[in-house]
Structure 1
Amino acid sequence: MRRPDTTVLPELEQQLRGAALRTQPRRRRLVWPLTAVAVLLSGASLATAGVKLFGDPVARTAPAGNTRSGPGTTVPGSVRLLSLRTADPNGGAPWGMRVWNTSRGAACWQVGRVVGQQVGVLDRAGRFHALPIEQSQCRPLDARGTLFAVQDQWMLANGGAEPWTCTPSERPVPGRPRCLPGNVRLVRYGFLGPDASAIEVGGRRHAVTEDAFLLVDRADFSSPEVPAPIAVVYRDGSHGPARDYRLEDPQRGTTPPGYEPLADNLPSDVSAPLRFTAKRRGKDLIFTLSFRAPVATRRFGVSYRIVIDGPRGGRRCDERMRFTGFDTPGDVRRGQRIEVKLTPGIQIRYGHGWCPGRYRGKVILHDSAHVVGRFSWTQR
């Protein structure tokens, strides 16, 4: 019988061998025959080879998307695997990222192990399981359609993200075993925009690939040291910290270089009358706030939200209070009535009443520069 061609897709062959060999505990390490890998790559039957290096795709754990709410649905043909690859400390299939655009002006991404053109996870037998496209990690694109985000994330060495199948902490968690030493990764990555040329961390410079970076290190929970900060080097020679912008108030000046605020496309005057009423329920004073939307919204990240500054908060009324929330989750028609209920629950005091003092609130559209209306009350 003719020996299968072992030169077919050599990069994929090497990754599959690494995935099978290097993710095994030493005492259970198996050596896959080279011919078995070649048979797989040449399209022959896996049953004939006696080895299964590809497992079933991972089941979906997040919604596929909704055309009128959240990030939206995936734009056909927009899924793109970045050329960026980062080695795992233990070797095997490299880490990578893929991104795609959505119908509501967002971009979503996935991070994991890469085999061929797929992003996925490895199981204990070394089989590779492709991840499904799902809208679980997403961010609004800026006004020019560019993705900006910086994230630090704990992930398992096999490429799996939360929910955890083990716990890295010293405290036991019911139903979850302790993670094996060296089985958790600190994954730091970001999408920095076209103005970034490199990053610097721990005295070393790393090139930015397709406006993105990806760092993978063993997570050492026994060390009190914090990870070295990441600085971004921009094409004009300037430097700045690699950090996320304030999603709840993305005004110009608080966003990274090159970011074009979505608010630039909003009218300067978005004011509208507010209706603010109160009703007592036991110790709690329940407020109803309503208004009619002055501007239609159909884009992820452009929403109406409520901001409240209070004298104090917490169960003992001993914490400074700043509440931001009640974002409209989806499309809003111009003139649509929006209503929310405000309870002491936002102070973690439901059933105990509001902390005494003066409260000042406002309804904003996208950022604090676009105020729909203001309200206030005093709790005796």
Structure 2
Amino acid sequence: MTTLAATTLTQASDWPGLANPDGTRWHYLDTGATAQKPQVVIDAVTRAIGVDYATVHRGVYTRSAEMTLGFEAARRKVAGLLGAHEGEIVFTRGATEAINLVAQTWGLANLKAGDRVLLSMLEHHSNIVPWQLLAQRTGIAIDVCPLTADGQIDLDAAERMLTGAHKLVALGHVSNVLGSVLDVPRAVALAHGVGAKILIDGCQAVPRLKVDVKALDVDFYVFSGHKLYGPTGIGALYAKAELLDAMPPWQGGGAMIDRVSFAGTTFAPAPQRFEAGTPAIVEAIGLGVAVDFVQGLGLDAIHAHETALVRTTREALREFNAVRLFGPDAAAGIVSFVIEGVHPHDLGTILDEEGVAIRAGHHCAQPLMEHLGVPATARASFGAYNDESDVAALVRGIARTLRIFG
């Protein structure tokens, strides 16, 4: 097994999670599920939950005030990452909660029976199920945009499908299975052309692509912090200020109120109106440091690094006749494949014995699996910490698997 060594973009010491107890390298290729955490994020979280810890927004004592400054600074960092204003950023538990928030606030207030929502075949369950739940409550209809032969959302088909009845288009920026990248400007133009709002799921995009929500003119944009090298339990919703201001509250409790009486309650302005209860203070501060870390590396550099690894991986896997690749060659950080006669779970088990971690399953995209004609795929997904030794280890493990099943 390859010893732990410096990668192109970062140092080995940045990533304690990649070192095995014996000092060898753990070949972690499951960043699409969740990213490893750099030491600076670990240190920030440890400090925030330790010597710096206090509640936010409520305390009149010094440490609470300092913690509040750190918490709101994290919001500004997220806003800066997305090219937004801090008042347009709502902290959530992740992209799943963010999409549900939009569905249950903006959706309930603005959609009714006869209205339509356009999704695509490659969406994560988190961008399918909330709209299905909303459909059950409101009677809206859901349409599904097909894919092109190489796994891109077919925007030509979307253009033909969209009508004035469509009030929302909700699409993934980067597929968590195929790595295909949406032409967001065109998708926005198509949605707005029929008077619809557009929500973009940016979970797989934000860790590797520059995103400017103002330039893109998206109405809603969501992502999860743990895929951006930050903690779990924190994510963000961007919404245009005028939309956010008009959206009713979702959850009730402390922090999201102006004044409470038994005669009635008035609510705080956005974004606080959507952040009921004590927030994820430590996680938000960790996310802010993760944003700093990623911007320090440079998103262009991260994307170029991962693109090279994807290209190397796809070229290597094409040498195996039994391997079937999915998605476009120009995939963003993700390679999905199957091996004839080998279930992805079996492959994942053998690779684990080789010190290689991949994802094996339907990746919370069962409609896409049905479209591909497979029950599951194996997925290798890359991060800033990966290098060609990880690709080599994956290839060795696949070769061993083929010998076992041959």
TM superposition score normalised by structure 1 = 0.21
Higher strand share: 1
Q: Which has the higher contact order (CA 8 A, sep 6+)?
A: 2
Q: Which has the larger radius of gyration?
A: 1
